[in-house]
Amino acid sequence: MSTYLMISLNTQVFLSLNTSDSQNHQTEISASFTTHPQWNYQTGWKNVLNNFRLLIQPSLLLWLIFPWLEIFPNSSLLLGLHNLIDSINQLTTLPLSG
């Protein structure tokens, strides 16, 4: 899936088309992600893109520091990052728009 399509499908226009019952459950899960200090509640594709960047940062950080974790093992940090990434991966649709 291209980034353009992924961001476009998570804009307010497309999200308003989804009226399924699973949306209520998803809103409860995504509420904690939107408390991030840099979360942007405005509408528009740039804001959705910035919110998406916040969600992928833990995965990028893990792969940036992974070589260092092999030299200086820190199981608590590794476990914490894996738990954070697992929580983000539980989302079936990303809560990108405010």
Can you give the pLDDT of all 98 residues of the chain as single tens digits? 566 666 666 666 666 666 554 555 455 556 677 788 888 888 777 888 888 888 888 888 889 999 998 999 999 999 999 988 888 877 765 555 44
- With a CB cutoff of 8 Å and minimum separation 6, the contacts of 49 are 7
Residue 48's pLDDT is what? 80
- Rounded to 5 degrees, what angle do the CA atoms 85, 87, 93 make? 100
- With a CB cutoff of 8 Å and minimum separation 6, the contacts of 90 are 29
Q: How many CB atoms lie within 10 A of CB 28?
A: 8
Residue 79's pLDDT is what? 93
Residue 73's pLDDT is what? 92
Distance between CA atoms of residues 39 and 42, nearest Å: 9
Say if CB 43 and CB 97 are below 8 A apart: yes
